[in-house]
Each structure stands twice: as C-alpha cells, then as structure tokens.
Amino acid sequence: MTNYFVIGDVHGKAKMLKELLKKWDGESQLIFLGDLIDRGEDSRAVLERVKELVEKQGAICISGNHEYMFLTWLDNPESGYAHYRRNGGDTTINSILGRPLDTPVDGVEDAKRVSEEAPDLVSFIRQMPFFVETDNYIFVHAGVDLTLKDWHETSDYQKVWIREPFHQGLNQTGKIIVFGHTPTFYLFSEMPGTSRLWQTQDQKIGMDGGAVYGGVLHGVLFGNEGILEHHFITMMVSR
C-alpha cells in the first residue's frame, strides 16, 4: 500500500515549503499539485528544491496553470508575456535571473535569458505531467471535465485551468479527485486564512490554501481510503 503526501500551490513561498517538508516522512510518495511559481518571492528556490526532490527522491510534480503560462511565454514571448505578467510572472522571471523582484522585465529579451541561464529549470517544467492516477485517486492541478464519458479526454489546458464546471459537476470517476488551483477561501466564499480543506460528498478535495494571499500551505497524507494526516503552514505557525 502506498501513501501519498500531497502539497498544494506553493507560488514561490520557499520558506513555507521548507517548513511543510518537515512533516513529510521521507517514504510516502511526494506529489506537488503544481503552481510552484509566480507571485511569491522565491520561485527559483522552490523550483530548485522540488526539482531535487523529483530527481533524487522520486517526487512527482504536476503542472499547474502558472507553469503552463511560463512555457507559453517562453515559447511565444511577444504574444505570451502580457498574460503572464498579469498573473505574477515578473517575480518568477526576476527570481530565476537573480535580480531584485521589482526589476523591469523585457518580455522578449528576458525569455532568451531565462532559456540560456536556467535551461535545467526550463527542462524540469517541460517534463511535468498533467495528472497522476492511482487505483483510488486522481491528482490534478485544476480538475477534469466531468461531462466527458472518459475524463482522460480532458484537455491539458482544462486540467490546469478549469474551475466552476468541475467544482459543480458530479464526480462519477469512482475515485477521489485531489486538486489545487482555486484557493479554498474562494470555494468557501471566505476571506483568506481558512485552514480547512474543501471536501465534497462526491469525493473532491480542494487543497490550494492560498499561501501567497496570506493563507496557508497544505500538506495532506492520503492512504488507501482517504486522509490520514492534515498539515498546514501559515506565515508564522505550523499545525
């Protein structure tokens, strides 16, 4: 039997991630739900740490919409930069290039620099899968299209971007779907800060704690039948 230690959207919060990883036993399968980067202050450190965990300890990191936007910008900087910038991309670009986070970014020139100066991190992001499926679970960043006869036919774009149609749709996959992407405080219609996971009767579990918005970073240990342990890190205190 495999247990899974799953971590929600980190968004460059390297210190919170460091604290949360102390809760991992080193043996359970470590899974990151994507959105390692953007908005937070240290995306490079997060990427480097998770890359190391993937390469040396068998962790898995699923792509999020922010990794998706990063690659869209990198591959088409002239058309992709404006959208990426609006979603907090400048912090990642400056972090990767080792510059102060408020440094003005040149969307085209800096795409070349990132590709040339951090090819290992770019390659790491390119190889991220869009979901992990086990006998009992589907781990995915945003969700899947529950209107399809076969959810596997969900587009990669939807796997990293879908919101309400998934949240409100009926999960008939026969599996627990664990996802991030939409902060739980939005799902609860609350202000940032709740440490609760969003759980539905049809077995969806939302665990983006909105760490970068003053919320929490979740780490959940899943066993065969469901949650075994629930940890979360705030800016000041862990539980």
Output the pLDDT for position 196. 97
Output the pLDDT for position 46. 98
Of 97, 51, 87, which is closest to residue 66 (Cα–Cα)? 87
CB contact at 8 A, 107 and 42:
no
CB contact at 8 A, 68 and 164:
no
The sign of the CA dihedral 32, 121, 58, 45 is negative
Phi and psi based region of residue 214 (left: phi greater than 0; alpha: psi -120 to 50; beta: remaining): left
Angstrom distance (rounded) from CA 85 to CA 68: 13
pLDDT digit string, tens, across residues 24-46: 999 999 999 999 999 999 999 99
> Which stretches in the chain have pLDDT values below 50?
none
Of 91, 82, 85, which is closest to residue 39 (Cα–Cα)? 91
CA 37 to chain centroid, in Å, comes to: 8
Output the pLDDT for position 236. 58
